[in-house]
Structures are given as C-alpha cells and as structure tokens.
Structure 1
C-alpha cells in the first residue's frame, strides 16, 4: 500500500517563499516587507509544542516561519546585489531603510518618532556595552556584537530591512516581538538592545555564536 505524503501548512509556506523570491523579485520587496513588519507574533502554522513555547513567553525559541522569511529576504538581497553588479550600478546599497514612522504590529499602532530623536550609533553602542554583563557576556564578546548589529542595522533603532520588514537595532521580525522588553520598542534603543541581547543569549548562547551563524547563512 502506497503511503500518502502529508503536505503541511509549514511546507506550503516555505515553498511559496522560495517561489516568491525566485520569481517575484521586486514584488517581494515592496509587499512582504510591509506585511512582515505588521505580522502578529505567533501568526503562523506552529506545532502545538512551538505554540506552547511562545504562549508561555519563550519568544527566543526558534520560529520556523520567521527563519524562512529571513532566509528568503537574504536571497532577495543577494539577487538584487548581483543584478546591480552585473548592470554596473554604482554604490553597494544597504539592505535596510529608515521608515518615516515606526512600524505597527501585534496590536501596536504605528507611531511617529519623537522630535529631535535622531539615532546615535555611538550612544547605542555604549548602551549595549553597559548592558552586556547583565546577560553574562564578557568583553571578549563585544567585537562580535558590534559587527553583528552594524551589519543588521548600522546600530540605528529606526532601521527596517527593506526585504523582510525586520526592525530596530537587533532586527526583530516582526518588530513587535521586542514589546516583551518594553512598550516603547518602536523608538527606544535601550529597549531594543535589551530584547536583542536576550534573544542572542536564548538562541545562540553568545554574540559570537550569533555572529558565526550570520556569517554562515546571512541572518541570525
């Protein structure tokens, strides 16, 4: 008797993402980034075990759908970069932009940035350095964290990935996951850093672990 193969919702999501990146090109960039930025936390085809972790507050647990979105965004970025190089377009370009308003998501409305609050990468780095020990990270981990978040956002709390919609200094996807560290996640660099350090510790163990993963696959 032939065994029927079961097509799971998660498999459909992964297949669709791959096709969109390969075939959709600019449509993926324009549409998915905005939709992903607004996507509610846990709005995916999780197994009961995965959903239980998130319902229990374990927002650092691996999220297969989000990982697939990150991987798809990385593919789209590389495809665009290759296209520009072949056409001889000047400038390397960045894979993130600075939106005019902080994104919404998971019940949070989009908000205007406070007046006069221009991002200060140097100040944000100092804040992160001062918080590292509280998460058990020694000074030997600083170089990895500095490089990781420079690559992800330029240490800009307003940065949004133009391909995936990931937001903030640690590039949370969706950005509203950072609400677990504070209701001001959309505009407060310290809140974003607090969440980001917790995410790194919970998933990769250390900034160097996260940096190594990023260097291997292009995302963390």
Structure 2
C-alpha cells in the first residue's frame, strides 16, 4: 500500500473515532437527565424495591455502547486490495512480492519537420553554391587559357615570317590575276631580290622603306591587310598591285630600276 493510501486510511479512522466520541458525550448527557427523572420518580414510589426495579429498567434502556477503537476501524469501508496485475503506483512502489519494474525511458524526440526542411534547404543551397562556384572557376580557367592562346597567337603574328621561297612561290601563282604570263616571274624575281632579297622584315635604314616590295613608307602596305608587317602574302599582293598601276608589268618596273636604282 502506498503512503498516500495509508494517509487516507488513517484520516478516515480518526474521523470515525471523533464521531463515536461525540455520540458518547450525547449519551452521557441523556443518561444524566434520566437519572434526575428517576430520582424524582423514586420519591413517589411506594417501596425501595419498585424504585430499584424502575431505575434498572431506565438505566438499561439508556446504557451507551462501550466505545472501541476496533469498532471504529471496522466501520471504515474495506479498501480494495491491489490486484496482482496492477501497475506500480505513481510513487514508483512495486506491489508486495514483485520486483520493481523500471519506468520505460522516454523515446527520443523526433526532429521538428520545419527544422528538417530548413536543414535540407540549407544543404541544397550550399550544394548549388558549390556547383556555381565550380562552374565559375572552370569558366575563368577556360578564359585564361583562351587569353593565353590569343596572346601567343598575337605574339607569333607580330613576328615577320621571312620565307623567301614561300614568297616567290606565292607570287608566281598571283601573276595571272594581274594578266601577266609566267615569263614576268623572272623579272619580278630579279627586281625584288635587289630591293629586299624577298625578306618580309626587310627595312631600309636610311629611307624607312619596308617589306618585300620596299614600300615607302611601310604603312602603305596596310591597304592590303592589317598583317602587312608579318605576312609575306599581304606584301606580295600590295607590290604586284603597285607595279601594275605604275609600270604595267614586272619587266617594265625592272627596266626603270636599272635606269634609276629605284622603282
């Protein structure tokens, strides 16, 4: 029996004792009053024997039951005995004869749905940011490679390609575009060998003439192409156009050069 049940039982027993004592006091008062009445009646009785008989009858009728605490306890309602299958009380006391069963540990609390969703959103955002950063880094690396390749191309393009054999071969294929026969190639070869030896980078230190045809100034070659400083084809195209417009043919230009040492 738990301590709480024992306390309630004791409280009920004390209340029963108080009620018994109260009834006892009331009975004593009634008995006293009866004795007084009997005393008056005895004075009028015809004999002592009748008085004692009458008093005995009255006292017997007024006799109070003797108070017994055992009776008070008996008046209390019987308390139901705990069942063998009853679970341990709230205080944790186990039924008699049985081992105390430990209370089950509380289940682990499950994460809040909002917290889970927030964590998943944060993970997705972090993954997206990482992917974007990787893409930006890859794009930056590709841009750097492209810039390096372009710089290398420009650097290579800025270097004149001195290829006399290549320049001569190209000039031979370009004669027909100006209406000249293959015979003009011999005169052209002699003329530009005297001027520049077919070098794309040929520069006259005193006059500043530049390139295979020795254009003066060299910037005139730009009318044939932006790569006039490095590309022999651009220089050959400009020189053939110049000869056609000024002398009519390479051989006529060579004859002028023989007479004037320039053309």
TM category (shorter chain) comes to 0.3 to 0.5
Pick 1 or 2: higher relative contact order, CA cutoff 8 A, min separation 6: 1
Q: TM-score, normalised by structure 1?
A: 0.47
